[in-house]
Amino acid sequence: MKHIKTINKANLKNTAAKGGCGNCQASCQSACKTSCTVANQKCEKDA
């Protein structure tokens, strides 16, 4: 494409069907404690 460059896999929808295993870290357990940022957690499915 000449005008648009896509940067990533844009795969969020694919993760919905098989997601929700619950193995990833609770989001407030890292360094926040006064805010909430979920998207910076790692997926730990099957980990």
Distance separating alpha carbons of residues 16 and 1, to the nearest angstrom? 29
Assigned token pair, 16: 């919905």
- Smallest separation, CB 1 to other proteins (Å): 5
Asked whether 24 and 41 are in contact (CB, 8 A), the reply is yes
How many residues of this chain interact with other proteins, rule: CB under 8 A? 44
Site string for other proteins, 4-43 (x = CB under 8 A): xxxxxxxxxx-xx-xxxxxxxxxxxxxxxxxxxxxxxxxx
- Smallest separation, CB 46 to other proteins (Å): 10
Distance separating alpha carbons of residues 31 and 20, to the nearest angstrom? 22
Q: Which residues of this chain interact with other proteins, rule CB under 8 A?
A: 1-13, 15-16, 18-45, 47
